[in-house]
Amino acid sequence: MGSFAYRHFGRRAVTMLARKGVRVVGLQALPDEHGSFLNSTTGYVVDDNGTSRVLTWAQVLQRAAS
């Protein structure tokens, strides 16, 4: 797992994700509601048990807690 995952989510969340077979493998810029990348937010590329997804920070933390 990338070292950025520990900086963005903390050791506990990363450990909880790993126990569920989920890895944060990269970052992705997400456009705003108008499709503009000028005010983009960070998306996290996640390997969720073999399924690739792009999730927001809150969605990754929710996945760790569930």
What is residue 23's predicted lDDT score, i.e. its pLDDT?
Answer: 93
Q: pLDDT (tens digit, 9 = 90+) per residue, 46-62?
A: 999 999 999 999 999 99
**Predicted confidence band at 2 (pLDDT cuts at 50, 70, 90)?**
low
The DSSP result for 9-35, as a single string, is H-HHHHHHHHHTTEEEEEEEEE--TTS
Provide the pLDDT for residue 1: 52
Query: Do residues 44 and 52 lie in contact, with contact meaning Cβ atoms separated by under 8 Å?
Result: no
Confidence tier at 66 by pLDDT (50, 70, 90): confident
Q: pLDDT-derived band of residue 3, with 50, 70 and 90 as boundaries?
A: confident
Count of structural domains within the chain: 1
Q: 54 lies in which domain range?
A: 3-65
